[in-house]
Structure 1
Amino acid sequence: MSSNAADDKKTIPDIIIDKTRNCSYQRLRFFGKGGFAKCYEIQHTGTKEVFAGKIVPKSMMTKSSHKEKMAQEISIHRSLTHKHIVGFHSFFEDISNIYIVLELCKRRSMMELHKRRKAITEPETRFFMHQILEGVRYLHSHRIIHRDLKLGNLFLDDDLHVKIGDFGLAARIEFDGERKQTVCGTPNYIAPEILTRKGHSLEVDIWSLGCIMYTLLVGKPPFETSSLKDTYKRIKECEYRIPSSLRKPAVEMIVMQLQEDPLKRPSVDKLLQHQFFTSGIMPAALPLSCLTTAPRTDQLEKLALQRRPLHEINYIDDGHCGEKISVPQSNRKHLFALRDQLDKLMSTAPSDRWPVLTDELSDPAAQPLVWISKWVDYSDKYGFGYQLCDESVGVMFNDTSKIVMLANGVNVHFITREGQEIYVTMDDYPPELSKKMKLLSYFRRYMSDYLMKAGASAVVRESDGLSRLPHLHQWFRSTLAVIMYLTNGTLQINFQDHSKIILCPLMQAVTYIDVEKNFRTFRFSTIEKYGCDQKLYNNLSYALDKLNAVLGIGPMITFS
C-alpha cells in the first residue's frame, strides 16, 4: 500500500461525522483529486442521499493564505443557489480534515467530454453555452467573478445539465468600479488584463466564456501553444484564428467575447440574446451517448426548440423508412497514437518493482463510457456479436457490414460496408435488412441467456433515438486473447484468464479489470511514475506487441 493510501485510511474515516448537525456520512468510492482536496462519493447514513465530499487535510493548510482562501471559497459558494451552480449542502471539520458536502455530478466535467470528442457539434455547443451563460448571469447579478471558468470547472449531471463549480479563485465586487489586481486563472482561459495587471472585474469571465465556446466548436483553445510564454503573448495580442468551417453567428459571438478591451465585451444578458441561439437547433435535451459520440442531428432537429432551414440538416431520405447518413470511416490515427503512448509507457515505467496501484492513484474521470461486456464469435457462419456495457447489442457481419441495437430495444443503426449509417427500428425496416435483423435478435437472445456480463455496472443509459453509440470497427483473436477496436478509438483486450484491459488514446489511460473483477482506471502518466503490478505490465506489453503487428511495425497480423 502506498503512503498516500495508508494516510487516507488513518485520516479519512469510513464513517464521517458532522457533529454540528448530528449526522454522519459513509465514505464510498474515490471520485478524484485536485489541489489540496480529494473527492469521494459520500452517502448520508440517515437519508441515503449521495453527495460529493470534498475533503481537505488540515496538514496541507500550512499558510494563513491557504486558510483565508478556503474560507472565502466556502463563504462565496454557500451563498449561491442556482440550477446551473454546483449545489452547496454543508461544511464541517474534525481534528484532521475540512469536509465540504456538494452536489454530486456523476457525468464529470466538460473537460472529459472535450478529451473524448474534441470539437462538438453546433447544436450541442448551443445547448451547453446557454446553460453556462445562465449560471454566469446569476453569479454576475450577485457581483461575483468566478475567475476560473474553464471546461474542467463545468460539471455535468445525469441529464447533462451544466453546473458551474470550484469557487477557489472567485471574488466579490465590493463597490462599483472596483478592479481586482490578483493574477489568477488557467493559462488557456486567462484574460489579457489579468496578465498585464491593469486590474480586472466581471469582464474576465466573458473572455473565458469566449475561450470555452471556441474550444467546444473548434476542438482546442484559441490561444494554445506548446509554451506558456507564447500562449501569454498571443493572449496579450489577442491573436487567434477562427476556422472557415464555423457558421457566421458562431464566429460573431466568439469575436464579441474575445475583445482585448474588456469594456468592449458584452454583458451576459446581451450574449444570451445573440443570434447564435436563434439561428440553429437548440436541443431540448441531449443523450448520454454524446459524451463519447456525436448525436443524431436529424433527430435533434425533430426535438429542437428552435429549428433551422431544412437544407442545413445533415441527412437525406433514401426512399424508405430508414434515414441514411454518411458517417466518416474510422481511421488508424487513434491506433498510431495509442501505439506511441504505449511505447513511451513501456520504455519509461519502472519494471524493477511491481507495486499494486491503489484506488487513490486511479483516475475515475478517465474511465471509459463504453466497453464490451459480452461477446460471441460465430464468424464461421455469420459474424461476431457483442453487448456493450449499457446493454446495447451489435453484430459485425462477415461481409463487414455492422448493426447496433440501442439499449431501449427499439432503435437500430445499420452501417453498410461503405460506412453509411441507416437508422431504423425493430418494427420498421427495409426488406433487404430482414435477415440481419433476425440475426441481431438471435445474437441478443443468446448472449442474454448464456453469457455473464463483464466489468462494472453500466455507465451509459440510453432511452431514445438521439443516440449514436460507438460500435465495433475491427476485431481479431489470438492464442491468448480477443482484441476489439471500437469506432471511438477504444481498444479492448479480453485475455483467456478473464482479465481485461481497455485502452483509450484520447484519455491516455488504461482500465484494468483483473481476475477478481476489480475495475480501475489509471492514467499512463501514473504508471510511468509509479509502475504497476507485473500482470498489468505484461498485459500492456502484449497490447503494444499486437499494435505493432497491426500497424505493420512488427510481425504482421490483420484484423478480422
Structure 2
Amino acid sequence: MTSIKEDEKKEIPQFIHDPQTNSTYQRLRFFGKGGFAKCYEIQDLATNQIYAGKIVSKTLMVKSSQKEKMAQEISIHRSLQHAHVVGFHGFFEDSLNIYIILELCKRRSMMELHKRRKAITEPETRFYMHQILLGVQYLHRKRIIHRDLKLGNLFLDDDLHVKIGDFGLATKLEVEGEKKKTLCGTPNYIAPEILTKKGHSFEVDVWSLGCIMYTLLIGKPPFETSTLRDTYKRIKQCEYRIPSSLRKPAASMIVLQLQSDPSLRPSVDKLLQHEFFTSGIMPAALPLSCLTTAPRTDQLEGVTLNRRPLNEVNANGNIMAVDSPVKRAPPAELRSVEPTSHKQNLIALRDQLATLLTSKLKCRPECLNDDMSDPAAQPLVWVGKWVDYSDKYGFGYQLCDESVGVMFNDTTKLIMLANGVNVHYINRQGQEQYVTMREYPQELDKKMKLLTYFRRYMTEHLMKAGASVPVRESDGLSRLPHLHQWFRTTLAVIMYLTNGTLQINFQDHTKIILCPLMQAVTYIDVDKNFRTFRFSTIEEHGCDKKLYTNLTYALEKLNSVLANKMC
C-alpha cells in the first residue's frame, strides 16, 4: 500500500517539462492549495528563475463546464501584463495535470496580513489601495471584470507591492453596456446586484474595493455576520456602520463605493482622484515588518505623495512616481508603543489548544505530511537563537531576520534591527525611544554595550533554529515584534512575543511556535524539519505522539501563566 506522500510524487513529478518552450522546471517546496489547484515553488533549470507553479489534476476536471472555466481563466490571465497583476509566464499540460506558471509572490496574500494585523494604519491603506486601484483600472480598460476581488486574491511581493491574482471568476465584456448575470463571488465582498441577479458590470469590482478598504481600516468586513443569510441580507440593504474614529476622507471614499445603486458608484478613474489619497501620508515604501507590526508613523511623516493627478500613469501603465523619504534625525522624545492585547491572545490560544486536545484527536506516527502543511500560516518572526544571562544582566535573543533583542532584568528592553544601526529602547512603562548605535542618550551606554556583547556572542557561538529566512536590509521605518515575557522550566524555555506568538524550545531540541491569529502550530522536530499545520488539520488528521505531548505541555503552561496573571 502506497503512502499519501508516494501518491503525491506520482501525481506531480519532481521535474516538469514544457514541450512548447522546451523548458524544464524542478518542483520545490509546497506553497499552498485552494480550490482544485496545488501550488509549488518551481525553478526553471535553465535560468534558475523561481516561479509559482499552479498545478491542477486532470482527474478533478471531469465536467465540461470546469474545463471551460479553466480555459477562460488561462485565456484572460495570459492576456494581462501590468505591475499590479500577478505575472503570467506560461501554461502546458501532460497526461496527469495542467500546469500554470505564474509570478511568485513570496509575501503571500493580504488575507494573511489581515489575520496578523487586523486593522492597519491609514498610510498603509493608502499605499495598498492606490496600487489595487491601478491594477483594477488596467483590467477595466481591457473590459475585464475580476468579480472576485478580495484580500485572499491580492498578493504581495518582496517589496509589499500588490499583485491582483486568481482570474477564475473573471469575465470579459464583448460589447459596450453588456450585463452579466452569473451568481459568483465571495460572500463578504459580493455586490447586491449579483445577489438580486439584476445584471452586473464593472461596478461589482468597485463594491468589492469598498469592502476591501473598509476591512483594512476597520479590521473586519463591513457586512460580516455569523450566518450567510444575515450577511446577504445586510448586503442587499446596504447595512453597515462606519466608526466615528475614521477620518472623513476615508469614510467618504468607502461610502462612495458601497452604494446599493451601481450607477452611483464612481469609476476607478474617479476613485484614484479622491481626496483620501492627498489628505495624508502616502508612503513611498513600507518595511517588511508591516506584515506583523504597524510601522513607525513618525518616519512615515517624511514621505509625501507627488501632487500630480493620482490617476496619472506613464505610457507603460506603471505606478506613478512618489517622493523619496525625507531623511531625519531619530526623534529624541519617548513614544508609547502600540497597545497590544497580550492577555487576549493568550486566552485565545489557550481556548484553541483546549478545543483541539479535548477532541477525539488521533495520535499515530506519520499522519501529517508535507501536503497537509500550510506555509501561508508560517510565522514571519520567531526566535532563532537565545542566551540566558539573567543571573547578571538579562535574556538575549536573535529573531529569524537577524535582529537582536535583550530583555534586561529591570524589564527594560533593547531591540536592534537587522541593519545593525537602528535600535528601539522600551522603558519600564512601555514607552519606546528610537536611537542608533552611534547616537543614544548617555544613560543607555551600559545597556547598548551589553546589546553588542549579546549579539556578538550569539553570532559566534550559537546555531540558528528553524528554517533559513532571506534577510532584507532593514530601515528606520521598521518596528519589530519583540520578547514580551520568557521563563524557563525543567523541560523547556518558553518565550512569548508581542505579536501573539508563543514559542517553546524543548530540551530534546524539538520546538513549537504557536500562533492564535493564524490558529496554527509550527513544529520543528528532532530532524529539524520545519512545518506549519493549522489546528483544524491536526484535528482532522491527528498528529504524532511527540507533537501531541508538546501541545499538551503548552496548554498546561498557558493555564499556569493565565492563572498567575503574568501576562
Q: Please report the TM-score for the alignment, with normalisation by the length of structure 1.
A: 0.95
Per the alignment, residue 316 of structure 2 pairs with none
Per the alignment, residue 286 of structure 1 pairs with 286
Alignment RMSD: 1.7
Deviations 1:80-122 (Å, cap 9, x if unpaired)?
A: 0000000000000000000000000000000000000000000
Deviations 1:405-428 (Å, cap 9, x if unpaired)?
A: 000000000011101010000000
Per the alignment, residue 453 of structure 2 pairs with 442
Per the alignment, residue 10 of structure 1 pairs with 10
Say which SS state the counterpart of residue 209 (structure 1) adopts. Answer: helix
The 2-side partners of 1:374 and 1:212 are apart by 38
For residue 437 of structure 2, the aligned residue among 398, 423, 426 is 426
Shift of 1:36: 0.5
Letter in 2 for 1:467: S
Per the alignment, residue 551 of structure 1 pairs with 562
Say if 1:416 and 1:43 are closer, same or farther in 2 by CA, change over 3 A: same
Alignment of 1:490-505 (within 5 A): 490-505=501-516
Q: Is this contact kept in 1: 2:383–2:399, CA < 8 A?
A: yes
Say if 1:3 and 1:234 are closer, same or farther in 2 by CA, change over 3 A: farther
Say which SS state the counterpart of residue 225 (structure 1) adopts. Answer: coil
Shift of 1:449: 1.2
Per the alignment, residue 233 of structure 2 pairs with 233
Alignment of 1:398-477 (within 5 A): 398-458=409-469, 461-477=472-488
Shift of 1:322: 5.3
Say if 1:458 and 1:427 are closer, same or farther in 2 by CA, change over 3 A: same
Say which SS state the counterpart of residue 551 (structure 1) adopts. Answer: helix
Q: Is this contact kept in 2: 1:369–1:459, CA < 8 A?
A: no
Say which SS state the counterpart of residue 302 (structure 1) adopts. Answer: coil
Q: Is this contact kept in 2: 1:403–1:440, CA < 8 A?
A: yes
Q: Is this contact kept in 2: 1:412–1:425, CA < 8 A?
A: yes
- 1:126 aligns to 2:126 (yes or no): yes
Per the alignment, residue 85 of structure 2 pairs with 85
Q: Is this contact kept in 2: 1:491–1:502, CA < 8 A?
A: yes
Letter in 1 for 2:267: S
The 2-side partners of 1:11 and 1:499 are apart by 32
Deviations 1:334-353 (Å, cap 9, x if unpaired)?
A: 00000000000101152353
Q: Is this contact kept in 1: 2:278–2:305, CA < 8 A?
A: no
For residue 390 of structure 1, the aligned residue among 392, 401, 423 is 401
Q: Is this contact kept in 2: 1:349–1:529, CA < 8 A?
A: no
Deviations 1:345-385 (Å, cap 9, x if unpaired)?
A: 10115235344311100000000000000001111111100
The 1-side partners of 2:63 and 2:282 are apart by 47
Range 95-104 or range 329-338, more displaced: 329-338
Alignment of 1:20-39 (within 5 A): 20-39=20-39
Q: Please report the TM-score for the alignment, with normalisation by the length of structure 2.
A: 0.94
Say which SS state the counterpart of residue 388 (structure 2) adopts. Answer: strand
Shift of 1:537: 0.7
The 2-side partners of 1:142 and 1:20 are apart by 27
Q: Is this contact kept in 1: 2:389–2:396, CA < 8 A?
A: yes
Letter in 2 for 1:293: T
Per the alignment, residue 274 of structure 1 pairs with 274
The 1-side partners of 2:338 and 2:254 are apart by 28
Per the alignment, residue 72 of structure 2 pairs with 72
Shift of 1:7: 2.5
Where structure 1 has 5 or more consecutive residues not aligned to the other structure, the ranges are 308-316
The 2-side partners of 1:155 and 1:204 are apart by 20
Deviations 1:224-249 (Å, cap 9, x if unpaired)?
A: 00000000000000000011111000
Shift of 1:2: 8.3
Per the alignment, residue 299 of structure 2 pairs with 299
Letter in 2 for 1:108: R
Q: Is this contact kept in 2: 1:179–1:200, CA < 8 A?
A: yes
Deviations 1:116-142 (Å, cap 9, x if unpaired)?
A: 000000000000000000000000000
Shift of 1:461: 3.0
Q: Is this contact kept in 2: 1:140–1:202, CA < 8 A?
A: yes
Range 356-365 or range 284-293, more displaced: 356-365
Q: Is this contact kept in 1: 2:402–2:471, CA < 8 A?
A: no
Shift of 1:258: 0.1
The 2-side partners of 1:460 and 1:485 are apart by 22
- 1:537 aligns to 2:556 (yes or no): no
The 2-side partners of 1:42 and 1:326 are apart by 41
Alignment of 1:372-383 (within 5 A): 372-383=383-394
Alignment of 1:74-473 (within 5 A): 74-305=74-305, 321=332, 324-328=335-339, 330-458=341-469, 461-473=472-484
The 2-side partners of 1:125 and 1:450 are apart by 42
The 2-side partners of 1:451 and 1:283 are apart by 37
The 2-side partners of 1:330 and 1:59 are apart by 47
The 1-side partners of 2:561 and 2:297 are apart by 34
Q: Is this contact kept in 2: 1:123–1:282, CA < 8 A?
A: yes
Q: Is this contact kept in 2: 1:374–1:453, CA < 8 A?
A: yes
Deviations 1:301-335 (Å, cap 9, x if unpaired)?
A: 1133369xxxxxxxxx9997455344325530000
Letter in 2 for 1:406: L
Q: Is this contact kept in 2: 1:370–1:460, CA < 8 A?
A: no
Say if 1:243 and 1:448 are closer, same or farther in 2 by CA, change over 3 A: same
The 2-side partners of 1:299 and 1:320 are apart by 9
The 2-side partners of 1:503 and 1:412 are apart by 27
Say if 1:558 and 1:237 are closer, same or farther in 2 by CA, change over 3 A: closer
Letter in 2 for 1:291: L
The 1-side partners of 2:22 and 2:364 are apart by 46
Per the alignment, residue 317 of structure 2 pairs with none
Say if 1:225 and 1:459 are closer, same or farther in 2 by CA, change over 3 A: farther
The 1-side partners of 2:104 and 2:477 are apart by 25
Deviations 1:486-544 (Å, cap 9, x if unpaired)?
A: 00000000000111000000000000011111000000000000001111111001000
